[in-house]
Chain A
């Protein structure tokens, strides 16, 4: 079954600390994986995309990793800030046998950064 699972469901950290969010997927065949950030009451915004051949990609204080063998991705946030408080969603597209792609969304990790 094509699934995307994220852990933890929620996380609370102090400002300035680092954290790592996990995403495991069983979607096959695999083409790419994207991380989105969703602020409360807003739509998700793309942080980064990982393709099959990429292991690590950074976007400022955000670093995503991908292990295509174990079907795992992580999002590491360095020196967290209050503005990092949001939900982080992992998304993997699935190509059906016919028709257009469908995107499989994880349920997200809700991160709260405290001052």
Chain B
């Protein structure tokens, strides 16, 4: 069963900590994405990557960075966690070549920053 796996379902971190969220996909997809989801705001794109070592900023990249050293793994880094980064984080992947394939999402990581 093909899937996108996020390393943690729930995470609690302190303000100022450096936080790593890991995402691994086993579908050999070119594209990978990080979103955050907040009530009433829907999914907002943080960063995405369409190839190894390539990354592009999404709509809300401030306070975040990413790393894609291998095709199957896309990491989201909160350099110095703040309470306004408390959210549900969703990783997704898709094959290249257009939009008809859609996303495969991970189960999400609910991050609480205290």
Decide yes or no whether B34 CB sits under 8 A from chain A. no
| Contact partners of B45 in chain A: CB under 8 A | 102-103
Which residues in window 85-107 of B have CB below 8 A to A? Answer: 90, 92, 98-100, 102-103, 105-107
User: Chain B, 48-72, contact with A by CB distance < 8 Å: what is the 0/1 string?
Assistant: 1010000010100000000000000
The size bracket of the interface on B is 20 to 34
Decide yes or no whether B24 CB sits under 8 A from chain A. no
Our count of residue pairs bridging A and B at CB distance below 8 angstroms stands at 50
Asked whether, in the complex, the Cβ of B100 is within 8 Å of the Cβ of A49, the reply is yes
Contact A49:B42 (CB < 8 A) given known A43-B107, A100-B48: no
Segment touching B, from A13-21, A61-69, A104-112: A104-112
Asked whether, in the complex, the Cβ of B108 is within 8 Å of the Cβ of A42, the reply is yes
Decide yes or no whether B41 CB sits under 8 A from chain A. yes
Asked whether, in the complex, the Cβ of A44 is within 8 Å of the Cβ of B110, the reply is no
Asked whether, in the complex, the Cβ of B108 is within 8 Å of the Cβ of A108, the reply is no
User: Chain A, 29-42, contact with B by CB distance < 8 Å: what is the 0/1 string?
Assistant: 00110100000011
Tell me which of A34, A42, A51, A108 contacts B42 (CB under 8 A).
A108
**Tally of contact residues, A, Cβ under 8 A:** 23
User: Shortest distance in angstroms between B45's beta carbon and chain A's nearest beta carbon?
Assistant: 7
Chain B interface residues toward A at CB < 8 A: 4, 9, 31, 40-43, 45, 48, 50, 56, 58, 90, 92, 98-100, 102-103, 105-108, 110
Q: A41-B9, A43-B108, A107-B42 are in contact. List 17 more A-B contacts (CB 8 A).
A: A31-B99, A31-B100, A42-B107, A42-B108, A43-B4, A43-B92, A44-B90, A46-B102, A46-B103, A49-B102, A89-B42, A91-B102, A103-B45, A103-B103, A105-B42, A107-B40, A108-B42
Chain A interface residues toward B at CB < 8 A: 31-32, 34, 41-46, 49, 51, 89, 91, 93, 99-103, 105-108
Q: List 25 A-B contacts (CB under 8 A).
A: A31-B100, A32-B100, A34-B102, A41-B108, A42-B107, A43-B4, A43-B106, A43-B107, A43-B108, A44-B90, A44-B103, A44-B105, A45-B105, A46-B102, A46-B103, A49-B100, A89-B42, A89-B43, A99-B56, A101-B98, A101-B99, A103-B99, A103-B103, A105-B43, A106-B42
